[in-house]
Homo-oligomer: A and B are copies of this chain.
């Protein structure tokens, strides 16, 4: 299978559309589609709309109108095929007379997983897959993982000093990292369907837990982990519970149930050890439509998730500071021996001003 530079160009555009939509489509994946006529002219574009609205392919076809006939569609994810009330994207593509479909990746959803592509082929449409596949998975790694594993994709973000501290000896932690790093954090948040913090972080920072990206603000679900469920009523988390889905997770509780009071959900995990509690939380989260959770700390929450192997990806920011002492970013109940330590797969290094940034996929030696 060979793709031309022009194919590449159109798929890059479709990916840009998908990336732009990310943060508004949960629990659906963010998809981009571009329709190009036989003369090489872009005649339609579309991206997944807010959950419940039309898919990228439908929007692109609608824009193309009659020009879709005989055209090529570039789409970042395999078009959906199902037997619902409204026609599936595959049906719309066939109906519109599209001649060729180039997709980046198959939809790993067991309900699709190649069925869409097969149906297109069965209707004589030329189908090619694999163009910029890695970039396409990156946009929807939460969706691709969760649909198969039936639990949310879990990321941790830590903002540390050069000596691995997240707070000084007076427990002050604001402005460890640069403005450029903090902007990047907002982008990372936008890629997650929920942001979680520990009770200590909520109390000391009173965070908004929104994703402020340029002029637009996104509202992922907000989660606080608390052993008591007792959150002071004046915190932003509760005063603005109407702004985003708001969840209090209560570990080590007698009951194991979800209760809703006003705008707040209380998720009781039952009496379990740390690993079992996290497992129950992740099962609940998937059942509740959360495809990804970004753990933003503090020390205990991030350490618990990482120590018990529940983290898919780590985003580590290092501010240009040294405290020499204070609160460590990570403090496992039992440190890992060097021969069995965590490492980051496909590690990436970046600089944000004087800060440096390391990200990668969590793995064990």
| Given A162-B358, A351-B349, CB of A332 within 8 Å of CB of B336 | no
Query: Is B347 within 8 A of A349, CB to CB?
Result: no
- How many copies of this protein are present in the complex? 2
Residues of B near A314 (CB, < 8 A) are: 322
Residues of B near A160 (CB, < 8 A) are: 163-164
Interface SS of chain A: helix, strand, loop or mixed? loop
Whole-angstrom CA separation of A233 from B160 in the bound complex:
41
Which bracket fits the contact residues of A?
35 or more
Query: Is B342 within 8 A of A324, CB to CB?
Result: yes
Whole-angstrom CA separation of A351 from B192 in the bound complex:
28
Whether A334 is near chain B, meaning CB under 8 Å from some CB there, is: yes
- Output the nearest chain B residue to A160 by Cβ-Cβ distance: B164
Q: Which of A5-13, A92-100, A127-135, A165-173 contacts B (4 or more CB under 8 A)?
A: A165-173
Whole-angstrom CA separation of A356 from B357 in the bound complex:
9
Within 8 A of B (CB), among A159-207: 160-165, 168-170, 172-176
| Given A163-B329, A354-B347, A358-B356, CB of A335 within 8 Å of CB of B324 | yes
Whether A306 is near chain B, meaning CB under 8 Å from some CB there, is: yes
16 additional contacts (CB under 8 A) given A163-B330, A320-B360, A323-B336? A162-B316, A168-B337, A172-B337, A303-B324, A306-B324, A318-B318, A322-B336, A322-B341, A323-B335, A323-B338, A323-B341, A323-B342, A325-B330, A325-B332, A344-B354, A356-B358
